[in-house]
Structure 1
């Protein structure tokens, strides 16, 4: 799945391998207008077959177990860390079932509400991934996402999930090895390329085990992070959790609600995931989501820009041209002015990155023009490096490692081996002629993972919780709209708010209608009418 920046630096989603993130889309891309059908389902963003039933996530007891009370009662030593923020270290058990086995130290941050007299509480934020730093996100983005009224009445807080950011981050390959990994052919055409890809997965997984350790890799699940959030809520002095989560952050928020429904305050889940879906479904549907997003970009490019590198004949022709370009780059990588040529995998990553937000479409047009017309790959490489969090010094961000580590622990691999993958490959290609093969082969990273999964898909009702606001975007590339429908439907108090637009995530400047509805929910605890659609 894929992760990505938003207008304010949202790191949100990718596939469980070389393309890497946490979301999905749909097979069946007949329409670029995925409006609800008569039966209430959407025309784009759902699977072509119903997923298997998922067991219910059972809530935890309301009373805090005695062996955990000291964690809930701890006092944090806050210190200033720039920009009006304070930072501290939160101590939580490595294993909640066996708290005597050791602790973890998690980085947390806060800035206090500017109007303490009317303070509602702390508003915890998570940007997604999984693997993104919530601390960095809060400190860099809160003032741009929220209006002054929200900043006045909430403390802005963040906790780096275990295994990410400043919370004992997962470590895997060094920069040079990651350069090789990201260039590996993800759509193998013969046995030699297939063997090379499988070897790359094995090398990556082995490096994660050697450099992170089994104890860490076995205890960074979404359920454990949700329990950490409850400890942080208590330490902050709030009886209820107020929360804004994007992308994977919606899964994290939903799991929290399922475990602690009585402690749910005002929860906003934007670019929602459906926790009932197995990995095979999410990866396949996400490939379809990127297909839908690409076709939306292609329609705009081919109809509005005479110099569009994808021609002027519409989305079908543009898709064929892009696929042909990928094949050419696979055969002969493009120069970039560096010692790293633009391979097919890097080109695919660059294109996918620019589909996360409509404001990146001009960059994508320019990059494709340089590559397809002039044979120069530098601009697509830059988009790929941005997605992969590769710095100018050749180092990579740790979310590249935390993403598969958390994802592979949360749910069994989509395909257990090559034979199973080949039996499912056609459904990926149906979902996305452009990206399907890439996403399909990506599922095999979890099959090579060094620790067994501890989680599985679950259905979350959160019976007894307050209203939970679920936001979905019709043409979201990484978290298909059907996921928002599914999450809102399974939550007993879910309220669905729809953005008829493009990009990954809606709140925070994309739509005044969406922003005003979310702000009213946060400030007045007033939910929009279920099913409201904004443009």
Structure 2
């Protein structure tokens, strides 16, 4: 799926992510801590808490002291946390995780550490902290908490997963994900296989040990190293899955947890992808209504015609790519154009930029604006280098859950369902869900409920027209978690905290600062 990380709220960016329009965000689990409950429909799996006592083999990790040092960003310190590569075999070697913090500024008594994660999987939490959270979170929160982030295993500064060089990744992002015939289908399958083989060749040691459960266990090691009895945490998008997993494994160590842009960990990959496809359609309809109210909407003057006009543009780009002026000779293919449009769906503040890019592409045959949107989504720089976001995204997703489809025939049979969910994006997003079918490492996880019985109150936040984490997921997670309080933002965009709703921000700030959770079911605009 393409949930990826939550974009930095309005100010910059980090939910969840596509890999060549083909990043699967397959929520799931991994090794350790599951309990099965038989039902008439089959086996319902629930995440079980780990034993409260720390195993003796893990004691050295839990007892480590962090050595803080300057890291080139004023006001921030950095350290390295050691964790076992394999929690079941801690003697087999370590993985080193990058940690950063900005100490509480005062005034007021320090509450503790506030760990933040912007989502992904694959988003750099350290980058998010240093670029946004450490300076952009409310001053009252920064005054009372040490703001802390750790890049998850396999991500950015924490022994990153690597898969392709820049030129090969360019080719992968241009792969046609709406194949018209068997030849084009075979080419798409080869692109997925090539991506997977690249990850297997370049990161064989890591690929088996980047699951969400392992990352949640790393968070508990960090909690201990920071000297906190309980974890206080704000996670967005995929970060909600990570935070909920932590709560399920360590319910007695839950402090104040905010899960913003919530995921439903009980959904199988195909259903999750389908729900998200519908979520992007919902967001696109909001964009369409806004677009036709503007004097310069390039997709017509009637909202119910905007989708058809955009599909027609995609079809033209599929038949003949557009020039972009890119120094590496890249042209705007249908897949890159679609990625550019989807990138703008995460935040309504990007709708104006999308209108301009579509106007240039449709009226002037200039694909540069949409290419820039796609590049920002993939984190490709002007020199053709990609951050490891897309590689880590696929590595975590494909390990956390069985693949949505096992081959092209399954995709073809399911296409009508995806196209019904989104006439605009359905076909491309269905084929994008094929990625994990060719992964070199078998999944270790499966969909499961997370109840976290005995945990302190957990705030679950859902946005009604969120494209990447549909609102129904927040409602479902809130029903699963035994101590959840559902907080609803009636609005557009991905995630809610820090996006301009005073109601949302004040409710979350009160919880973080005073420990007072909002009333369950509270709604904000």
Q: TM-score range by the shorter chain?
A: over 0.9
Query: Equivalent of 2:227, from 237, 240, 244?
Result: 237
User: Structure 1 residues 53 and 361 mapped into 2: Cα distance closer, same or farther (>3 Å)?
Assistant: farther
SS, match of residue 370 in structure 1: helix
Task: Answer yes or no: is 1:206 the counterpart of 2:197.
Answer: yes
1:23/1:273 contact within 8 Å kept: no
Matches within 5 A, 1:88-237: 88-115=79-106, 118-213=109-204, 215-237=205-227
CA distance 1:407–1:23, change in 2 (3 Å): closer
Q: Could you say which residue in structure 1 is the equivalent of 2:259? A: 269
Match of 1:355 among 345, 357, 368: 345
Distance between the aligned counterparts of 2:215 and 2:91, measured in 1?
18
Residue range with higher mean Cα deviation, 136-145 or 13-22: 13-22
Residues 1:402 and 2:392 aligned together: yes
Whole-angstrom distance in 1 between the partners of 2:78 and 2:362:
47
Change (3 A) 1:5 1:157: closer
Q: How far, CA to CA, are the matches of 1:106 and 1:460 in structure 2?
A: 26
Contact 2:9 2:498 in 1 (8 A): no
Distance 2:20 2:83 in 1: 29
CA displacement 1:381-414 (0-9 Å, x = unmatched): 1111111111000001101100000000000000
Is the contact between residue 335 and residue 377 of structure 1 (CA under 8 Å) also seen in structure 2? yes
Deviation at 1:307, TM superposition (A): 2.1
The 8 Å contact of residues 17 and 25 in structure 2, kept in 1 or not, is answered as yes
Q: What is residue 475 of structure 1 aligned with on the other side? A: 465
Alpha-carbon offset, residue 143 of structure 1? 3.8
1:446 aligns with 2:436: yes
**2:22 touches 2:433 (CA, 8 Å); kept in 1?**
no
- Counterpart Cα distance in 2 of 1:360 and 1:92: 39
Whether the 8 Å CA contact 2:26–2:397 is kept in 1: the answer is no
SS at match of 2:464: strand
**Quick one: which of 252, 255, 259 aligns to 2:242?**
252
Contact 1:93 1:103 in 2 (8 A): yes
Q: Give the match for residue 371 of structure 2.
A: 381
* DSSP-derived class of the 2:496 partner: coil
Query: Aligned ranges for residues 515-534 of structure 1 at < 5 Å?
Result: 515-534=505-524
Distance 1:159 1:77 in 2: 14
- Kindly provide the CA deviation profile for residues 48-97 of structure 1, in whole angstroms up to 9, marking residues without a partner as x: xxx98640100001111111011000011110112211101100001101
- 1:445 and 1:465 map into 2 onto residues whose CA distance is 36
1:331 alignment counterpart: 319
Match of 1:37 in 2: none
**DSSP-derived class of the 1:216 partner:** coil
Go from structure 1 to structure 2 and tell me whether the alpha carbon gap of 1:10 and 1:257 turns closer, same or farther (over 3 Å shift): farther
> What is the distance in 1 between the residues matched to 2:24 and 2:463?
18
Q: Is the 8 A contact 2:398 2:439 kept in 1?
A: yes
CA shift digits 1:207-242 (9 cap, x unpaired):
0011111x2100000000000000000000000000
Change in CA separation of 1:256 and 1:416 when aligned onto 2, cut-off 3 Å: same
CA distance in 2, matches of 1:409, 1:9: 29
Structure 1 segment 509-520 matched on structure 2, within 5 A: 509-520=499-510
Pairing partner for 2:424 from 429, 434, 441: 434
Instruction: Name which of 4, 12, 17 aligns with 2:15.
Output: 12
- Asked if 2 retains the 8 angstrom alpha-carbon contact of 1:271 and 1:504, the reply is yes
Question: Secondary structure in 2 aligned to 1:326?
Answer: helix
2:475 maps to what in 1? 485
Counterpart contact for 2:8–2:132, Cα < 8 Å: no
SS of 1:217's equivalent in the other structure is coil
Following superposition, the deviation at residue 22 of structure 1 comes to 3.0
Q: Aligned-pair distance for 1:144?
A: 4.5
Tell me whether 1:458 sits opposite 2:448 in the alignment. Answer: yes
Q: State the number of aligned residues.
A: 506
Q: How many Å separate the matches in 2 of 1:451 and 1:413?
A: 11
Q: Is the 8 A contact 1:15 1:283 kept in 2?
A: no
Question: Quick check: 2:9–2:499 contact (8 Å CA) kept in 1?
Answer: no
Unaligned segments of structure 2, at least 5 residues: 28-40
Q: Deviations over 1:322-341 (max 9, x none)?
A: 00110011001111112111
Q: Once superposed, what is the RMSD of the aligned Cα atoms?
A: 1.4
Q: 1:516 aligns to what SS in structure 2? A: helix
Give me the TM-score of the superposition, normalised by structure 2. Answer: 0.94
Rounded to whole Å, the distance in 1 between the matches of 2:364 and 2:42 is 48
- Give the C-alpha shift of residue 187 in structure 1: 0.7
TM-superposed CA distance for 1:111, in Å, is 1.2
- Equivalent-residue separation in structure 2 for 1:502 and 1:122 (angstroms): 31
- SS of residue matched to 1:337: coil
CA distance in 1, matches of 2:499, 2:220: 29
Give the distance between the partners of 1:311 and 1:177, measured in 2 at CA: 37
Structure 2 Cα separation of the partners of residues 22 and 145 of structure 1: 27
- Identify the match of residue 313 of structure 1 among 285, 299, 302: 302
Distance 1:158 1:52, change over 3 A: farther
Give the structure 2 partner of residue 58 of structure 1: 48
1:5 Cα deviation from its structure 2 partner: 4.6
d(CA) in 2 for partners of 1:15 and 1:428? 16
Q: Distance in 2 between matches of 1:221 and 1:171?
A: 16
State the partner residue of 1:22: 25
**1:423, 1:128 → 2: CA distance?**
31
**Pair 414,277 (structure 1): closer, same or farther in 2 beyond 3 Å:** same
Q: Equivalents in 1 of 2:136, 2:452: separation in Å?
A: 27
